[in-house]
Amino acid sequence: MAKIISVEQAVDLIRDGMTVGVSGFGAFSSPDSILEAIGQRYRERRTPKDLTIVSGVAPGDFQEDGCGMSKIAYDGLVQTMIASHLRMSPPMGRAVSENRVAAFSLPLGVYGQLLSAIGGGRPGVVTHVGLNTYADPTQEGCCINPKAKAQGRTFVERVRLDGRDYLFYRAFPIDACLLHASYGDELGNISVQEEPIRGELVELAAAVHNRGGIVIVEVNDIVKAGTLDPRHILIHRSYVDYLVKAQGGSNVALGHHPELTGQLRVPTQDRIRAIPLSAKKVIARRAALELRPQMLVNLGIGIPASVANIANEEGIHDQLTLSLETGVYGGVPLDGPLFGSSMNPESLSRSADMFVAYDGGGLDLTVLGAAEVDSSGNVNVSRFAGRCVGPGGFVDISQNTPKVCFAFSFTSGQQRLAVEGGRLVIQQDGSGIKFKGRADQITFSAQYARQTGQQVLFITERAVFALQDQGLTLVEIAPGVDLERDILAKMEFQPAISPALRPMDPRLFQPQPLGLAAAFQSG
């Protein structure tokens, strides 16, 4: 039976040098009361220190003093991060980028599977995910910064089975974990009935408990034994050592959103704003042209997430299934701090279960972002422009989906782009080059994509490229754009140009809907 303790007593259990798992995905399911108390204890007493923090998409809400990892981003408190993604916690991301904290980054699906392996007493995970990317030991072996490389740790090896190459990600012990959920009863049963995502809560609890570690769960409230609906109990009391009542109640970062948990349904046309006609909308619209009825689709953060808005505007969101790596199926995926959740979801599953579907090729289409693209068609989203952020689920998803659309702005930096009179008008272009001679890190391998026969498009506001045998090939150009001045001069390499180069669809640059609902009905 779990013991009910205070936040301060929970902090007492975290010792110097421990490896500590932390739940959460962005602003969801972060054990903020405990994390804040750890940060305060360190500021006052310089303990606990030299922690190794293990997380998936490390919790945060894009704020300097926000939720999640921002509460423990102090020099000396955290020595090493093992996480899939760090972008949503600016202070922790900066500590890694400035090489003050060593960082290793596992693909998110691999992370969940590795937790299952640790909990199941297996030596690790053998998978094709990560081959020919930064995760491959022939490249960087999951190291994100120099401090990680200096540790000399081996997280992954190449192995050969039945004539094929695979990666073997090694299991490692986790001393304790800090989890957040909706409710716990007096015995320690844990309910997630008000959580928009399930994440890796079960896997992390089992990985720690089954290896003799300490499982601490922070909950919004503690209720009488026997009062929780067993259908919402995700973690049985046998896995829970300590129960802590959160200071501040319901989801510390965002409050309770019943429309994200399936507890109620709302009219999306009224709640999800239409995107004004802009360069970013052109990109999202062009990606939406790849949608087909009954598709299972994954959308990434940023511009790719806007494809959900387009589907909603066009009235087709209920004719396909949009999904997220958090385990959410259906509804309209949201962006910003709410990324990872959907309004009016059809079902909520565990992240690890979703990646089983993704890794096996269950998706029809994915739309993802890109920070750098090189002449071969390799894509980098994990380390660029001096920032170390990690891939999240990008590697698992991009490597295993038959059709991949990278949707991103052509340049970076300050820019003023307008859509006027059915044309793209570049008033001020960004100074940052995204089409590089060589990507700083490979998060998507064009070589692997060719070997597996993936169809790959690179969609920007002014041009569309396709991955072809000769490399990156320009296939579409926006009206109002000059090929030499606005495209080729803003690339560090000369792409192949299709002899069938054509204008981008003129509907993309008009205020009227694209007419996708009619196209879906006609088949």
> Any idea which residues carry the catalytic annotation?
325
How far apart (Å, rounded) are the C-alpha atoms in residues 238 and 189?
A: 8
Q: 351-359 and 108-119 helices cross at what angle (nearest 10)?
A: 120
Contact 261, 438 (CB under 8 A): no
Torsion of Cα atoms, 280 then 283 then 289 then 294, to 10°: -70
- DSSP strand pairing (372-374 vs 435-436): parallel
Distance, C-alpha 450 to centroid of its chain: 24
Contact 292, 492 (CB under 8 A): no
How far apart (Å, rounded) are the C-alpha atoms in residues 388 and 351?
A: 23
How far apart (Å, rounded) are the C-alpha atoms in residues 490 and 249?
A: 50
SS3 370: coil
SS3 445: coil
DSSP string, 227-291: -S-GGGEEE-GGG-SEEEE-TT-S-TTT---HHHHTS----HHHHSPPPPSSHHHHHHHHHHTT-
How far apart (Å, rounded) are the C-alpha atoms in residues 169 and 154?
A: 9
Q: Which of 8, 47, 38, 132 is nearest to 449 (CA)?
A: 132
Give the phi and the psi of residue 244 in degrees, each rounded to 5. -130, 130
Instruction: Give the ranges where 182-222 is alpha helix by DSSP (H).
Output: 201-209
- Bridge partner residues of 444 (DSSP): 379
Instruction: Give the ranges where 343-414 is alpha helix by DSSP (H).
Output: 351-359, 394-400
What six digits make up the tokens of 406? 């990278």
- Bridge partner residues of 57 (DSSP): 85
Q: How many helices (H) and strands (E) does the chain have?
A: 14, 34
- Which DSSP state fits 483? I
Q: Please report, for residues 283, 334, 466, 473, 504, the alpha-carbon distance to residue 501 in angstroms, rounded to integers and kept in the order given.
A: 18, 34, 11, 10, 9
What six digits make up the tokens of 373? 């693209």
Instruction: Give the ranges where 166-219 is alpha helix by DSSP (H).
Output: 201-209
